[in-house]
Chains A and B, each alone.
Chain A
């Protein structure tokens, strides 16, 4: 389950009344730089990696990580997006959802180290669906997971390889990730459900 989409009432202005900012734009920038360095370290200079963002906000995060990897190492990291809608386990619980885009870099995923990128790691069910979706695309050499925020409450045996910030939360709380590309600003907010 990804972060909740911003509600119209909270969108305008710099302030988000009732929400606590847990990451500032600078902290997001530093966290992503660190994650990019960790990816380079763990994959021996980013050899054979493919970054696949999970829509919606995993996609710009994958793009940013690819840009940083290019900046730090001078190598280009192919990136794309992986829609998991058709593989979700909760399809029958909600109305049918519009599909998001799946774009795999031209080199494909066979034999590559795929780094899945998402904004918030929560139950782990989205990642489970992503692993299934990936399985239909090919056979990567290894699959890793990078998330901006790990908020706990896993329902499946899944963990992240790279975490921007570990954020202990109560189950009833809601984590919202806002990104420049999708929301016009960079911020991670924590609030209560049912506001």
Chain B
């Protein structure tokens, strides 16, 4: 990583949640907290990135993340070019590198990339001069999702004035298809940096290999973990990434690892329920849980825009971006 647009740091790209120190992560959350006030104003636009171009380069389908990045860049007055693999030269056989060089020639100051291959964002960072923001690479990472989740946790569980604070001692349980989840991986890395205690719960077949080397605990007993959780984060079963039978049936998975109203009652009074979306209602989360006041699912979407504004501002708003 080179350049130093972040005051507390040294980053030109955001590829992995592991690249962020605690101070850098807190700076992003604090910046987002200030930007949240902009969302409530009649004029929800800032001139900060005027004249800059942000390219959304999406090789995988995504509505939520792409529109979230698009809204974030536009609220900072950047120009946005959406590039999706379908119906593009990629469908005609162009490689990632050639696509990157094309975008480079168009003068992209930042490339927001989603790709089905783990490590794609990292490779791209070596080919373009602009900033690269990883919006999900295969089963590897999705750092802005982890940042918006951390922001939502701080907002809902933290003290009234949260500036400068992390998530020390917050007990987070992440449940479901951890094996295929880049959201889980980024969250484990970021939440550990911020001082939270993370526990992963999954069927043995969906627990990642060498999970004991991750900065978290692993458990197979969902009900026991629920009783001591401040946050429970449900993950979608990613059937499109599954190449084998990981559990006997959806119904059995739902019975053992789904969050229904009965299980929600085991949670402490203050605990919140999160889901990165898209949800499969009735599989990992019951409709009545998703729509309950404890659910932060809608807040996560609006927080996504302001957290991505903070990331784009910190990567592009300073000197190194112009250099």
Interface residues of A (CB under 8 A from B): 83, 86-87, 91-102, 132, 136-138
Contact of A95 with B31 at beta-carbon distance under 8 Å, contacts A86-B48, A136-B41, A136-B46 already known: no
Q: Are B47 and A92 in contact (CB under 8 A)?
A: no
Interface centre among A83, A94, A99 (most CB of B within 10 A): A99
Q: Are A93 and B319 in contact (CB under 8 A)?
A: yes
Quick check: is B35 within 8 A (CB to CB) of the other chain?
A: yes
Contact of A96 (CB < 8 Å), options: B41, B42, B46, B318: B318
Which residue of A has the minimal Cβ distance to B315?
A: A96
Please report the C-alpha to C-alpha distance between residue A86 and residue B49 in the assembled complex, in whole angstroms: 9
Which residues of chain B have C-beta atoms less than 8 A from A102's C-beta? 34, 37
Q: Are B47 and A96 in contact (CB under 8 A)?
A: no
Contact of A92 (CB < 8 Å), options: B7, B27, B322: B322
Which residues of chain A have C-beta atoms less than 8 A from B263's C-beta? none
Please report the C-alpha to C-alpha distance between residue A40 and residue B318 in the assembled complex, in whole angstroms: 40
Contact of A97 with B318 at beta-carbon distance under 8 Å, contacts A87-B46, A137-B41 already known: yes
- What would be 9 A-B contacts, judged by CB atoms less than 8 Å apart? A83-B34, A92-B321, A95-B7, A96-B316, A98-B7, A99-B30, A99-B31, A136-B46, A137-B41
Q: Could you say which interface size class chain B belongs to?
A: 20 to 34
Q: Are B6 and A91 in contact (CB under 8 A)?
A: no
Quick check: is B43 within 8 A (CB to CB) of the other chain?
A: yes
Q: Are A95 and B319 in contact (CB under 8 A)?
A: yes
Contact of A136 with B34 at beta-carbon distance under 8 Å, contacts A86-B313, A92-B318, A94-B319 already known: no
Please report the C-alpha to C-alpha distance between residue A136 and residue B76 in the assembled complex, in whole angstroms: 13
Q: Are A91 and B48 in contact (CB under 8 A)?
A: yes
A96-B319, A97-B318, A102-B34 are known contacts; what are 10 more A-B pairs with Cβ within 8 Å?
A: A86-B48, A86-B313, A91-B48, A92-B321, A95-B319, A96-B313, A96-B315, A96-B316, A99-B34, A100-B34
Quick check: is B5 within 8 A (CB to CB) of the other chain?
A: yes
Least Cβ distance of A83 to chain B in Å?
Answer: 7
Please report the C-alpha to C-alpha distance between residue A32 and residue B31 in the assembled complex, in whole angstroms: 32
User: What 5 A-B pairs are tightest by C-beta distance, nearest first?
Assistant: A96-B318, A99-B34, A96-B317, A95-B318, A92-B322
Quick check: is B207 within 8 A (CB to CB) of the other chain?
A: no
Please report the C-alpha to C-alpha distance between residue A82 and residue B75 in the assembled complex, in whole angstroms: 19
Please report the C-alpha to C-alpha distance between residue A137 and residue B38 in the assembled complex, in whole angstroms: 9
Least Cβ distance of B143 to chain A in Å?
Answer: 17
Least Cβ distance of B41 to chain A in Å?
Answer: 7
Q: Are B34 and A95 in contact (CB under 8 A)?
A: no
Which residue of A has the minimal Cβ distance to B313?
A: A96
Least Cβ distance of A174 to chain B in Å?
Answer: 21
Which residues of chain B have C-beta atoms less than 8 A from A95's C-beta? 4-7, 318-320
